[in-house]
Amino acid sequence: MTDVNAGPQESPAGSPPVAAKASPPASAPAAGASAPAAANGANRAGRATAADRTAPGLLERWPLSRIVGVAVLAVLLFSVAAMVAGGLALLSLHGNRQRVIATLDPAALQVQQLDIALLDQETGVRGYALSAQLAFLAPYTNGVTEEQDAITALQAVIHQLPNAVAADLQSVITQAHYWRVHYAVPTINEVSSTGKPVVSPTILTGKADFDALRAKTATLQAEISTARASAVAALNDSATVLDAVFIAVAVGLAVIVVLLALGLRATAIRPLHRLAAEARRVADGDFGHEVSLTGPREVTSLAADVNRMRERILQELSATQHANTVLQAHAEELERSNSELEQFAYIASHDLQEPLRKVASFTQLLQRRYAGQLDARADQYIEFAVDGAKRMQALINDLLSYSRVGRSAREPALVSSDAALAQARNNLAAAMEETGATVESGHLPLVLAELTLLTAVFQNLLSNSLKFSGGKPPRIVVTVRREEPFWLFSFSDNGMGIDPEYAERIFVLFQRLNERSAYPGTGIGLAMSRKIIEYFGGRIWLDTTCTEGARFLFTLPMPEETLDPDAVLGPDSRLPEDRQAAKLSEAAGPPDGPGHAEDPEDEDTDG
C-alpha cells in the first residue's frame, strides 16, 4: 500500500526508473491482457520521471495554492511598481507642461507687453515734445498703466522663474524709472509750461537712456526664452521617459505572463497531464501499475488517492474473480443438478410410470376378479392398494407438471387473459354445470405470458372455488385494475374461505388444510400457480381482508402495448374493484348468502 503522508520518492540521478510493484495474483489476467499498454505506460512513466527530476525541488514540495499565491504576489508587485513608475513619469510630464503653459508662456507674453508699453511711452513723449499737442501724449499715459500691469503680472510668477530673470526685471524697472525721471517727465513739464515744441540736446540723452532700457528688456526676454527652451526640453524628456515606462511595463507584463504560463504548465498542468496519463493506463486495464508522481502537494495527494483507488480495484477484482469462481462452481453444480432432475423427470414420466401402471392394473384386476370371494378385510386391502396406486400416479403427474414450469424455450408473448379464462372455464365446464357455478368477469387485458400456463392458473383457482364452495352454488368474480407497472387481478368467490394464518402455508407444495377423504386432490395447485405467476414476473397472495369467501390477488407485468387503459380494458375496467364487483352483481342477481367457513381445516389448497 502507498503511504498517503509520504512524499513522492524519486530515483537517484542516473539510476533506472523504479519498477512498478508486483500486482496480486488475481490481477494477473488483466495485467497480461494489457501488456502492450503497460509497456507504453512504462516508457511514458520513465520520461515523466526524467522530467520530474529537472523540476525545482522547492516547487515540488510547495502546494499549488502557495505557487499560485507567489505568482499572484509577483504580478501585484510588478503592477505596483508599474503604477508608481508610470505615476512619477506622468507627474513629471504634467509639472513640466504646467511650467511651460502656466508660467513661462505667460511671463514671455507679459515681457512683450512690457516692451510694447515702454515703446508707447517713448513714442508719446517724442510726439508730444515735437507737436505740443495733448493728443500725442495719450500713448505715454496708457503705456505707463500697461507697464504697471505687466510688471505686476511678472512679479506674481517671478518666484517660479530663474533668479536671473528677477534681477533683469528689477534692472528694467530701475532703468524705466530713470528714463522717466531724467527725460520723459521733464520734457512733458517743459512742453506743458511753454506750450511750444521742445527741441534741445536732452532728446539725444533721452534716446540713449531709452536704448539702454530696450537693451535690458531684450536681456529679460532672452532670459525667459532660455528658461522656456529648457522647460520645453524637460517636457520632451518627460514624454520620452513616459513612453519608455509604458514600453517597459508592456514588455515586463508580457514577460511575466510568459513566465507565469511556463511556471503554471511546469508546476500544475504537466503534472496533471502525467496523472491523467497514469490514470488512463490504469483505466485501460493495467491495474498492476503504481501511480506515483512528483509535483505540487495537491497533485501528489491526488495521485496517492488514485493509487489507493487502484489498489481497491485490485482487491475488488480479486474478490470478484473469487466470487466468479465460486459462482461458476455453483453453476456447474446447478447444471449437474438440473441434469439429474431432467433424468429423474424422464424416469418419472417413463420408467417409473410403467411399473406403477402395472401395479394399478393388476390391483384393479384383482379387485374385479376376486371381489366378494375373499373376506371383507381382503377387499379393503385391495381397495387401499388401488387408491394408493392412483394417488401415486396423480402425484407423479402433478410433480412433473410443476417441474416443467419455466423450462419452456418459448419466450412469453402477448396473450389474452379473456382467452385463458375462457379456456379454463371450458376445461371445467362439466364441474361448473354440476355445481351450478357462475363466473362474472369484465374485459381482461393482454399480458406477456404463455397461454397454457396462464390457463393453468385460472383453472387451478376455478377448481379451488368449485371444490370448496361449501355446498352452495359457487359465484366467482374476476376483476382487474391498473397498478403500474402491473395489472392487478382479483379472483374472489363465495365459498368457505381461508383463515389468514394459513395465507402462506397454502402455497407450499403438497400442503393441505383438510382431510384427503373429504376433498380430493394432491395439494399442488396453488404452489404451481405461484410458480407460474413468479415465472411471469408477478406475485400471488391471499387477500386476508376478505371476510366472505376467499379472494386471491395476483399481478402480471404491464407490457407497453397495454398502456392505454380504455383501449385494452374499456371504461368499466378502470373502476375500483368493489365497483366492478357491484356492477357484475347487478347483472347476475343477488348472491346465495354467505359461505365463509369458520374452521380453516375445512378448505384444501388443491388445484
Q: What number is the average pLDDT over the span 577-593?
A: 42
pLDDT value at residue 577: 46
Q: What number is the average pLDDT over the span 581-594?
A: 40
Is the pLDDT at 260 greater than 60? The verdict is yes
Read off the pLDDT of residues 447-500 as tens digits, 9 standing for 90 and up.
888 888 889 899 888 888 888 777 788 888 999 998 888 899 998 888 877 777
CA distance 402 to 211: 146
CA distance 290 to 310: 8
Angle between helices 202-264 and 163-179 (to 10 degrees): 160
CA distance 562 to 558: 7
Among 40-49, 123-132, 257-266, 410-419, whose mean pLDDT is lowest?
40-49
316 or 50: whose pLDDT is higher?
316
Read off the pLDDT of residues 214-246 as tens digits, 9 standing for 90 and up.
898 999 889 889 988 988 998 899 899 989 999
* DSSP string computed for 407-429: --SSPPEEEEHHHHHHHHHHHTH
Read off the pLDDT of residues 72-112 as tens digits, 9 standing for 90 and up.
888 889 899 989 988 998 998 888 888 888 888 998 998 99
Share of residues in the chain with pLDDT > 70 (%): 74
pLDDT value at residue 215: 92
Among 58-67, 272-281, 418-427, 538-547, whose mean pLDDT is lowest?
58-67
- For the chain, which residues make up each domain, given as ranges? 25-66+271-316, 352-396, 408-602
The residues pairing with 492 across neighbouring beta strands, listed in sequence order, are: 477, 551
pLDDT value at residue 26: 41
12 or 134: whose pLDDT is higher?
134
Q: What is the CA radius of gyration of the chain?
A: 61
Q: What number is the average pLDDT over the span 56-74?
A: 72
Secondary structure (H, E, C), 173-213: HHHHHHHHHHHHHHHHHHHHHHCCCCCCCHHHHHHHHHHHH
CA distance 526 to 510: 9
Nearest Cα to 554, choosing from 371, 426, 425, 421? 421
343 or 398: whose pLDDT is higher?
343
Q: Which residues of 210-234 are buried (b: 16+ CB within 10 A; e: fewer)?
A: beebbebbebbbebbeebbeebeeb
Q: What number is the average pLDDT over the span 348-376?
A: 73
CA distance 146 to 138: 12
Q: Which residues contact 89 (CB under 8 A, 6 or more apart)?
A: 238, 241, 242, 245
* Topology classification of domain 408-602: Heat Shock Protein 90 (3.30.565)
Question: Could you tell me how many helices (H) and strands (E) the chain has, helices first?
Answer: 19, 7
Q: What number is the average pLDDT over the span 350-364?
A: 73
pLDDT band at residue 136 under the 50/70/90 scheme: confident
| Residue found under cell 402491473 | 486
pLDDT band at residue 398 under the 50/70/90 scheme: low
Cell numbers at 30, concatenated: 488483466
Q: Is the C-alpha dihedral spanning 507, 510, 515, 517 positive or negative?
A: positive
pLDDT value at residue 421: 92
pLDDT band at residue 345 under the 50/70/90 scheme: low
Q: Which residues contact 499 (CB under 8 A, 6 or more apart)?
A: 600
Read off the pLDDT of residues 271-319 as tens digits, 9 standing for 90 and up.
888 888 888 888 887 777 887 777 777 778 888 888 888 888 888 888 8
H or E stretch including 454?
A: helix 451-467
pLDDT band at residue 57 under the 50/70/90 scheme: low
pLDDT value at residue 326: 92
Is the pLDDT at 444 greater than 80? The verdict is yes
* DSSP string computed for 331-365: HHHHHHHHHHHHHHHHIIIIITHHHHHHHHHHHHH
pLDDT band at residue 247 under the 50/70/90 scheme: very high
Tell me the whole-structure pTM to 2 decimals.
0.41
Q: What number is the average pLDDT over the span 5-12?
A: 40
Residue pair 447/487 in contact (Cβ under 8 Å)? The answer is: yes
Cell numbers at 168, concatenated: 533683469
